[in-house]
């Protein structure tokens, strides 16, 4: 494996001082020239490889991130440690171009990033991939090699519309998010019942061994404790209720409400979107699938899904 560079590309150490590496500095200048002449980062990386220019002493492998770091590196302007390789005008031109490209590229919004972080494949449990930035060609799909691709095109607005519909449904009908979960549940096992019977028999014996019974009672208490489960779903349900209380119907997705109320979005391969709330309650938004020859589209007419279903956590 190639070692990482300690000194930036274009420089070397001689007699304890950083100085310009002649061949590498020529490559740095070439990179800036190619970039300003319209070359992409990937094209320049391939050019460096084709010309056998070594990025490190033991590797001539290049990638677009290496090229990007060189274009962004202000050390080439010259500092007290690094001699100047690139003129200030040249450097500014290249980085103004890089900045303009970045702003014109399809950059995903922070709100959409929050949605992506919570969106999972219902079939395999892996997080869904979203490809294409903020472009019209953006596509959601399951990239788990052990699963399979979605059979229809899923857009951002389809997911946002389904989530918005579910939130408005809950705002209008707060009872939908009731989980019916108890804070603590005790479910004794067959071993616990058997141990209780053993202790009862020991206590009914003509000769009671109190020390042994005491020891068995402690064992029973430990076994019973292991049969108790705790759930904080009732508190989370109360939290959701307080957030949606007096909340007006939403025209656009409130990302703050989304982040505090919803833990995950589950997407199936059959045109269904399930919203999982922080208390474990799922509400399913079923969208209509139309089209022929396996070209599917999912839509919510008038922003209202065909039907809504729900189920509660076990």
Rounded Cα gap, residues 125 and 273, in angstroms: 14
Residues 36, 97 contacting (CB under 8 angstroms)? yes
Q: What is the pLDDT of residues 93-113, one digit of tens each?
A: 999 888 777 655 555 677 888
H/E segment holding residue 25: helix 22-36
pLDDT, tens digit, for every residue of 145-191?
A: 888 888 778 888 889 999 999 999 999 999 998 876 555 667 788 88
Residue 219: inside a domain, yes or no?
yes
Confidence of residue 301 (pLDDT cuts 50, 70, 90): very low
Structurally, the chain folds into a number of domains equal to 3
With beta carbons less than 8 A apart as the criterion, state whether 168 and 196 touch.
no
Q: Which among 89, 298, 51, 261 is positioned nearest to 169, based on CA atoms?
A: 261
Tell which of 60, 78, 104 closes a domain.
104
CB 46 within 8 A of CB 62: yes
Tell whether the model's pLDDT for residue 218 goes beyond 70: yes
Q: Full-prediction pTM beyond 0.85?
A: no
pLDDT attached to residue 60: 84
Average pLDDT across the chain, whole number: 81
Q: Per residue in 14-57, pLDDT tens?
A: 998 999 999 999 999 999 999 999 999 999 999 999 999 999 88
Domain boundary among 104, 132, 148: 104
DSSP 201-266: HHHTSSS--HHHHHHHHHHHHHHHHHTEEE--HHHHHHHHHHHHTTPPPPSS--HHHHHHHEEEEE
**Dihedral angle of Cα 114, 120, 269, 150, to the nearest 10 degrees:** 70
56 & 139 share domain: no
113 token code pair = 């990033």
Question: Are residues 97 and 164 both part of a single domain?
Answer: no
Q: Same domain for 68 and 198?
A: no
What backbone torsions phi and psi does residue 217 show, to the nearest 5 degrees?
A: -65, -40
Mark whether 175 and 196 lie in a shared domain. Answer: no
Residue 290 has pLDDT above 50, yes or no: no
Residue span of the structural domain in which 290 resides: 110-180+238-311
- Residues 146, 242, single domain; the answer is yes
Task: Tell whether 91 is covered by a domain.
Answer: yes
Q: Write down the pLDDT at residue 107.
A: 59
What are the pLDDT digits (tens) for 129-147? 887 666 556 778 888 888 8
Instruction: Give dist(CA 237, CA 131) in Å, integer.
Output: 34
Q: Are residues 172 and 195 in the same domain?
A: no
């Amino acid at each position: 494996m190639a070692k990482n560079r300690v000194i930036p590309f274009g420089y070397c150490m001689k007699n304890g001082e950083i100085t310009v590496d002649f061949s590498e500095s020529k490559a740095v200048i070439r990179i800036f020239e190619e970039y300003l002449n319209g070359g992409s980062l990937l094209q320049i990386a391939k050019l460096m490889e084709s010309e056998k220019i070594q990025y490190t002493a033991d590797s001539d492998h290049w990638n677009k991130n290496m090229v990007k770091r060189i274009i962004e590196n202000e050390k080439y302007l010259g500092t007290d440690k690094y001699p100047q390789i690139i003129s200030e005008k040249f450097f500014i031109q290249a980085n103004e171009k890089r900045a303009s490209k970045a702003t014109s590229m399809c950059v995903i919004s922070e709100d959409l990033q929050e949605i992506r972080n919570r969106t999972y494949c219902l079939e395999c449990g892996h997080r869904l991939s979203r490809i294409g930035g903020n472009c019209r060609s953006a596509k959601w799909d399951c990239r788990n090699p052990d699963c399979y691709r979605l059979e229809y095109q899923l857009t951002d607005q389809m997911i946002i519309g389904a989530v918005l519909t579910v939130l408005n449904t809950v705002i209008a009908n707060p009872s939908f998010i009731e989980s019916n979960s108890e804070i603590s549940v005790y479910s004794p096992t067959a071993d616990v019942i058997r141990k209780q019977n053993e202790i009862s028999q020991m206590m009914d014996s003509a000769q009671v061994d109190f020390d042994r019974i005491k020891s068995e009672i402690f064992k029973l208490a430990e076994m019973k404790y292991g049969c108790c489960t705790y759930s904080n779903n009732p508190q989370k349900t109360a939290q959701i209720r307080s957030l949606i209380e007096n909340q007006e119907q939403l025209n656009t997705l409130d990302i703050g409400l989304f982040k505090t109320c919803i833990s995950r979005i589950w997407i199936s391969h059959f045109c269904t979107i399930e919203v999982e709330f922080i208390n474990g309650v799922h509400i399913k938004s079923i969208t209509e699938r139309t089209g022929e020859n396996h070209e599917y589209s999912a839509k919510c007419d008038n922003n209202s899904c065909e039907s809504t279903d729900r189920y509660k956590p076990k």
